A and B are shown apart, each in its own frame.
Chain A
């Protein structure tokens, strides 16, 4: 699925699902999410920036995508014929609403 990246990123997103919150508060996922808040990046960009294993980044991104914290990748085929997937955070800020019990 291709996404139109010209549309503005959400300024904030409210989260109340505890499952999503647990993903959001994972330390490494937060680092990745923060890196994707102002610019769309591919895994190789993230690897260079965060000095993390690309496989680890991929798994974290999959989790973040599953919880709708990161958008579906923007797919481009560059001039060298290589497919590239660019990821971006769903919003610039996440607001957590939790009530218990």
Chain B
């Protein structure tokens, strides 16, 4: 096999090791991640999600509709979630670089206190990718060059643009920025983290992109398929006239299905995808740092 081929194989091998190793460490530290992520889920659901409105809808309760209060509360919740996201990287740093391959829940709060504003900044930068992409996709979908009466075309546009392009863009965006987090935990300074992230990306982009590609395929792709399947089924049902499906979808599941899907996605994302992402990126950082240090020697 030529040198290029063996290098490619080594990237794939490393990506597989990243996933396997992270999974093993995730399992052995499951309780800590569970505790940390339950805190995140509770903050997310109680502070950022307007649950009072849902309750008032179901139980006919009169609410003081002071939207500013809810907006401020959501904003605080959002910032907390961003810090919790960064603190999860701290837990992974403890596991991979602490020496004992385990962490404790108090570590989560330690990193929260230590790097809260840096985590907000870096997480906002990650979110900026979603915002930019949503904006681009949104602009495309309202662009009047398309025939507005063509329902099928819009569905296809939605399928392709939103569900696939946004994910590809997010994959690239996350891959470019993710090593900032382990670097921040390792070095303690955001400036150095940006510099080191850039250096690692410049020298080892293929390694990062291949590992993160595998991560997105395992942890994000099933949701894309589910989204596409859901929309396609509706489209097919309209075309074929499957009233039983449309009736079912429009009545009972109109409220319940999106709610359970949202709940399942939230739990999956917080309990599995985020801890795995933090472990994978910390493992990438450690192994590349090791390689680069060896090169320097």
Contact = CB atoms under 8 A, between A and B. Distances in A.
A and B physically associate: yes
Interface of A: 42-44, 47, 54-55, 58, 73, 75, 77, 80-85
Given A55-B104, A77-B290, A83 B98 contact: yes
A38 B288 CA distance: 35
Given A44-B28, A77-B290, A83 B104 contact: no
A-B pairs, 6 with minimum CB distance: A81-B286, A85-B99, A81-B287, A54-B102, A43-B100, A83-B99
Nearest to B285: A81
Contacts of A42: 99-101
14 contacts: A47-B102, A54-B102, A58-B102, A75-B99, A80-B21, A80-B283, A81-B96, A81-B289, A82-B96, A82-B97, A82-B101, A83-B97, A83-B286, A84-B101
Given A43-B101, A80-B17, 20 more contacts: A42-B100, A44-B100, A44-B102, A47-B102, A54-B100, A54-B102, A58-B100, A73-B99, A80-B21, A80-B287, A81-B286, A81-B287, A81-B289, A82-B96, A82-B101, A82-B286, A83-B98, A83-B99, A83-B286, A84-B99
A75 B286 CA distance: 15
Nearest to B98: A83
The A contact surface, by secondary structure, is: mixed
Interface residues of B, number: 17
Contacts of A54: 100, 102
A41 to B, nearest CB: 11
A94 to B, nearest CB: 24
Contacts of A73: 99
Nearest to A76: B99
Of B101, B283, B287, most buried by chain A (CB within 10 Å of CB) is: B101
A43 B25 CA distance: 13
Interface in B283-297: 283, 286-290
Interface string B85-127: 0000000000011111110100000000000000000000000
A3 B21 CA distance: 28
Nearest to A46: B100
Contacts of B97: 82-83
A81 B290 contact: yes
A81 B99 CA distance: 11
A42 B102 CA distance: 11
Nearest to B106: A55
A83 B98 CA distance: 7
A25 to B, nearest CB: 25
B98 to A, nearest CB: 7
Contacts of B288: 81
A83 B283 CA distance: 11
A96 to B, nearest CB: 29
